[in-house]
Amino acid sequence: MNTFFTILKKPLVHTIGLLQVLLLCFSVGVKAQTTPYRPLSDTHSDGGLLCVGTFTSGESKAYDLDPNSYATLQNDVGLACFAEETVQFGQTAKAGDSILVYLGTGGGLLDATLLANATLQAKNSGTNVGSPIALNSALLNLQLLSGGTKALVKFPVSGNTNQIQIKAGGLLSLLVTLRIYDIQLKFENPTVVGGLNKSICSGQSTTVTTTTTNGTTLDWYDVPSGGIALQSNTNSFTTPIITVDKIFYIQVNRAGGGNEERLPVKINVINPSAPIVNSINICSGSATTLSVSSPKAGETYNWYSAAAAGSLLGTGSSFTTPVLTSNQSYYVETAQSSCISASRTQVDVTVNALPAPAVLQTSDVTINANQTASLEATAGTGEVVDWYDSASGGTLLHTGSPFVTPALNTTTTYYAVARNSSTGCSSTSRQSVTVQVNAIPSSSCLQADTQNSGISGVLCVLCSVQNPGYSVDNNSSNYTQLNAAVGVLASVYQRLVFPATGIASDSISLDLELPSD
């Protein structure tokens, strides 16, 4: 039940129309305490020289539990007019504490310009503590709240304070409406060593240490309101073992009362997961590089020789093995800050055997210029033969057997190597075969250089061979003529002999003509 006492000093009023000359109207309200950090009671008054519409109303609503109810300080028009409310707390705020005032300027959006005509004055049992501060002063922390109709003003007190006076008005007032939704006392929060965000490894606990001021005590919770204190009246708190992010809350108390809002301290749990690394197949006698899939910023990766403990082989998102001749497993973990993954990822390197060298079926061969050669080699089961142009590296020319070379004009050596079709591993050595190319004499390039000719058969009348040497004299302007008039089982012939032996796929070009006379 609320009880109010009103003391009125008889005002001296001269009425001229609606204008009043008002000296003073003063009232006292007493309300039962609702929360330890809200006021217990208030006084309120209004007055001035020439005032119209200057009053206070709903004063106790400035510190009830309803966030939507409010007290009103109204000053429509006036000269040196004011409306004020002074609230009384049940305990004394200390330097470093704050008074929180939730206010608005009317039913619409907050009009910050009207705040210049309103002030806050800290008091201690009626004595001013410091000077009054305008609500729009840079000395105050004014925060516009969601919706834009209310603001939170944080007023830091500079000395012992158990009252706060809110006054609207000034030398000249015009349509000043100030709504006070709530007033709270907030004790100074402690300083948390290391800040309000801490990081630990999963499966660990940590101790949060604080420094308090002005005789405050601390209780520790795991919920922002209500709940049962995990630990009371202590400046430090050791968390249980935690595996996920967790927020703990500090309740700041003094003289049996505490802040409405608890101070949150977030414990971030670092729990790096084991990296993803693909196993790999290599050929015996080779090294390889193992790489973490999608490495993350802020993480490092440690490579070991064993699933636990073992020797540290390297650090980084990739690791290059030594040359291997047998299967080998490596193990990699993720490290973030001082935390490591709960397990290591096993990465298997399978080492495949090398094939035996290819077996040549063709020894060194000799061809004439502009001819090709067919080379053959065999390999084991599941293997193929690759042909290269050098003993190592070089260009792959052909896969399979036989290998038909292009037409060659110079002596060339080719190299055969056996390769496993499944593993891709090749024999360590390449087998060479040389194609020797014989040059054709430049004086009779591919041209017959000797001949023999004659007549054969039973009877050949008027048969002859004229100028037989002209067909092999390397002169295209003359010719050999074969004449066969009448014959019985007879022929006239000329055999042309080349300086080199041809092979299958070669051809012979003859320039022949039948005389017209």
CA–CA gap between residue 262 and residue 271 (Å, rounded): 28
Q: Which tokens sit at 131?
A: 């000077």
Q: Which of 317, 352, 387 is the last residue of a domain?
A: 352
| CA triple 51-52-57, angle to 5 deg | 100
Q: What is the pLDDT of residue 442?
A: 54
Q: What is the model's pLDDT at position 213?
A: 86
Q: Is residue 510 in some structural domain?
A: no
In a domain, 512, yes or no: no
pLDDT value at residue 22: 42
Helix (H, G, I), strand (E, B) or coil at 56: strand
Q: Are residues 44 and 87 in the same domain?
A: yes
Residue at 515 is within a domain: no
pLDDT tens track for 357-415: 999 998 899 998 889 999 999 999 999 999 999 999 999 999 999 999 999 999 999 99
- End-to-end Cα separation, the chain, in angstroms: 151
Q: Which tokens in the block code for residue 98?
A: 């704050």
Q: What pLDDT score was predicted for residue 107?
A: 65
| Predicted structure pTM score | 0.65
| Together in a domain, 136 and 89 | yes
Q: Give Cβ neighbours of residue 445 (< 8 Å, ≥ 6 apart).
A: none
Same domain, 55 and 204: no
Q: Is residue 516 part of a domain?
A: no
Considering only CA atoms, give the Rg of the chain.
54
Q: Which residue in the block uniquely carries the two structure tokens 């007190």? A: 157
Closest among 477, 472, 479 to 499, alpha carbons compared: 472
How many helices, marked H, and strands, marked E, lie in the chain?
A: 0, 45
pLDDT of residue 317: 97
Choosing from 393, 423, 438, the residue where a domain stops is: 438
* Rounded Cα–Cα distance for residues 235 and 182 (Å): 30
Do 80 and 175 lie in a common domain? yes
Instruction: Report pLDDT for 517.
Output: 62
88 and 147 co-located in one domain:
yes
Position 464 in a domain:
yes
Reading the block at residue 446, the tokens are 């591919």
The one-character DSSP state at 382 is: T
| Count of domains observed in the chain | 5
Q: Are residues 389 and 302 in the same domain?
A: no
Whether residues 335 and 395 fall in one domain: no
Domain extent at residue 289: 280-352
Residues 174 and 214 in one domain: no
* Within a domain: 508: no
Q: Report the candidate in 470, 479, 466 with the shortest Cα–Cα distance to residue 512.
A: 479
Residues 55 and 107 in one domain: yes
Structural tokens at position 75: 């000053």
Q: What per-residue confidence (pLDDT) applies to 355?
A: 97
- Length of the chain, in residues: 517
Tokens of 24: 């003073």
Backbone angles phi, psi at 130, to 5 degrees: 80, -170
Q: Are residues 61 and 151 in the same domain?
A: yes
The last residue of one of the domains, among 301, 321, 352, is 352
| Residues 158 and 259 placed together within one structural domain of the fold | no
Q: Which residues pair with 437 in a beta bridge?
A: 367
Residues 301-339 pLDDT 10s: 999 999 999 999 999 999 999 999 999 999 999 999 999
Sequence-distant (≥ 6) Cβ neighbours of residue 21 within 8 angstroms: 12, 13, 14, 49, 50
Q: What is the pLDDT of residue 199?
A: 95
User: Do 362 and 342 form a contact (C-beta atoms < 8 A)?
Assistant: no
148 in helix, strand or coil?
coil
What count of other Cβ atoms lies within 10 Å of the Cβ of residue 57? 12
Separation of alpha carbons 331 and 341, rounded Å: 12
In this predicted structure, what is the pLDDT of residue 44? 94
Question: Is 487 inside any structural domain?
Answer: yes
- Of 300, 337, 343, the C-alpha closest to 319 is 300
Distances (CA, A) of 349 to 3, 290, 334, 374, 390: 86, 9, 20, 40, 30
Burial of 6 by CB count in 10 Å (0-12 exposed, 13-18 middle, 19+ buried)?
A: exposed
CATH value at residue 217:
2.60.40.10
Predicted local confidence at residue 29, as pLDDT: 52
**Local structure of 59: helix, strand or coil:** helix
Question: What per-residue confidence (pLDDT) applies to 14?
Answer: 33
- What residues of the chain score a pLDDT lower than 70? 1-34, 107-109, 112-113, 173-175, 256, 440-446, 505, 517
Whether 218 is in a domain gets the answer: yes
CA 87: distance to chain centroid? 54
Please check whether residues 375 and 331 belong to one and the same domain.
no
